[in-house]
Structure 1
Amino acid sequence: MAEHDERVAAGRENTMQTGPLGSTIHVLRADAGTIAALAGIDWNRSFSRVCLDPLRGLITLMTPSRLHEDLTDILARIVDAAGNAITGAARDLRHTRLRAPDDPPDTGMEPDCAFYLGERARAYRNALAEGEAAADAFLERTPLDLVVEAEITHGDESRIGRYADLGVRELWRLHGRKGTRDLRVEFLALRPGTMPRELAASEVLGGLTPDDICEAVDGVRLSVTIDEWTSAVARIVRRRRRASVRVRDEAPPYAARTG
């Protein structure tokens, strides 16, 4: 009996994880029909982040820590400011559920940050001007340019592949630890049906690097005015633009063609 209780207790412990930023995360497995039925419950009354994924058979319930929410807000500011400066437009779609057209209603992935950039941001605005139905239809058929996740535990790493299957172009994954100032950012290029490819520089945001983002996070974290945090982002954008110009200037000319 004691052995049975230990096995049950161990099974229960495996459903709950504490993320590196201190968030409490429950990852449960169920069949697709059960998950579709659970989608009718307002889980957000107890958990502010809920993911019901019938394709993977996963129910993920998260109570984000203060650090998680702080980093999410900082990254949203950075991408918004950098996206506007580099691509001319950015649209934050945080708290939007991403799902395939044939997934049950109210299921899907809810990233910490989700963005359209450049032309897609402007196209989404045009759809939104037509009404909520047009905006929803646009979101369903148009993959996101960038998703940011502040905290992914080992039990939920499969969400990266799910984002790829949904057509997301790029994922920024933060690696932090509660109680420290250490932060590492990983850029991943996503393609449906393939393994994520680590990037040295962003393909959707003007060649910004993980080190650029870490620097901007430090600057925005300590900012108390709009001017301070926008200056922190503008600094990394200017540096990346100068580096890009320098690379073009130093590129060797094409060899003259001979007849």
Structure 2
Amino acid sequence: MTTTSTTEQPQVRAEPIVTLRGVSWQTYQALMHDVGDNRAWRIAYDQGILEIRMPLPKHEEPKRLLESFIEVVVDELGIELRSLGALTLEREDLTRAVEPDTCFYIQNESRVRGQDKINLPDDPPPDLVVESDYKNSSINKFKLYAELGVPELWRYRQNRLEVYQLIEGQYEKTQQSPTFSFLPIAEIPGLIEQSKTMGQRAVVRLFRQRIREILANQSSD
């Protein structure tokens, strides 16, 4: 694999992140092809800047709980979901790519059901992506996800869950999930903290009970 002459040496920071600059789209694609999907690290690529990061366990646990919570919600609603984890989202025409911590097709699940590969922009982007406590990024991921057209973004950091909605090409912070307006967003960080003493599945069961209460109250109104 050849690299461009302008590529800088990796800059390793306190966080497990490596940033390469001057990386052509062709070089990025060759790297991804060579390493394949069986890898622990995740990437973000924005017009020549390639960021490689190694998720830490303390970041992975909240992400996995958020996945479980979303699965609970769709199960209780009786709707479908396609969960695709750190799916590589690429737009060659924009020379941008990113792998979220996890992502979901909900409203557009039927449009990508059973597909072996998601091809943007022919296929829709995920309806919801989750980023867990990233730091020291050289790439503006809000701008990147906005360019890819992801309608809803959750960011969990410093024991807070922030929800953003894409409006006219920019993310605006909101108190409610656009997809699940009844979801008690403010309660979720506390449940994630409780999992450290109660256990993950115990907290998921608590969350399921809470969702059932909310839905039951809604149906009785």
Q: TM-score, normalised by structure 1?
A: 0.68
User: Equivalent residue for 2:211?
Assistant: 237
Amino acid at match of 1:26: V
CA separation of 1:12 and 1:35: change in aligned 2, threshold 3 A: closer
State the SS of the aligned residue for 2:87. Answer: coil
Matches within 5 A, 1:150-189: 150-156=132-138, 158-176=140-158, 183-189=159-165
State the Cα deviation string for residues 94-127 of structure 1 (Å, max 9, x = none).
02101126467xx72111110112x4224433xx
**Structure 1 unaligned regions, length at least 5:** 1-10, 177-182, 250-259
Amino acid at match of 1:28: L
Does 2:190 correspond to 1:215?
yes
Match of 1:112 among 101, 107, 118: 101
User: Equivalent residue for 1:16?
Assistant: 12
State the Cα deviation string for residues 7-29 of structure 1 (Å, max 9, x = none).
xxxx979x33344xxxx112222
Q: Distance in 2 between matches of 1:37 and 1:138?
A: 19
Which structure shows the higher helix fraction?
Answer: 1
Q: Distance in 2 between matches of 1:109 and 1:39?
A: 12
State the SS of the aligned residue for 1:168. Answer: coil
CA separation of 1:192 and 1:152: change in aligned 2, threshold 3 A: farther
Q: Distance in 2 between matches of 1:51 and 1:192?
A: 26
Which structure shows the higher strand fraction?
Answer: 2
CA separation of 1:84 and 1:198: change in aligned 2, threshold 3 A: same
Match of 1:51 among 20, 43, 51: 43
Does 2:70 correspond to 1:94?
no
Percentage of pairs with the same residue = 21
Q: Distance in 1 between matches of 2:80 and 2:196?
A: 23
State the Cα deviation string for residues 51-108 of structure 1 (Å, max 9, x = none).
152x43221111222211222211211122123324622221102101126467xx72
CA separation of 1:138 and 1:161: change in aligned 2, threshold 3 A: closer
CA separation of 1:27 and 1:239: change in aligned 2, threshold 3 A: farther
Match of 1:41 among 34, 42, 65: 34
User: Equivalent residue for 2:129?
Assistant: 147
CA separation of 1:31 and 1:206: change in aligned 2, threshold 3 A: same
Give the paired residue count. Answer: 213
1:213 positional shift: 1.7
Is contact 2:23–2:50 with CA below 8 Å preserved after alignment?
no
Q: TM-score, normalised by structure 2?
A: 0.78
Is contact 1:48–1:63 with CA below 8 Å preserved after alignment?
yes
Is contact 2:112–2:123 with CA below 8 Å preserved after alignment?
no
Q: Distance in 1 between matches of 2:110 and 2:196?
A: 29
State the SS of the aligned residue for 2:137. Answer: helix
**Structure 2 unaligned regions, length at least 5:** 1-7
1:239 positional shift: 4.8
1:187 positional shift: 0.6
Q: Distance in 1 between matches of 2:59 and 2:139?
A: 17
Q: CA RMSD in A?
A: 3.3
State the SS of the aligned residue for 1:143. Answer: coil
CA separation of 1:193 and 1:139: change in aligned 2, threshold 3 A: closer
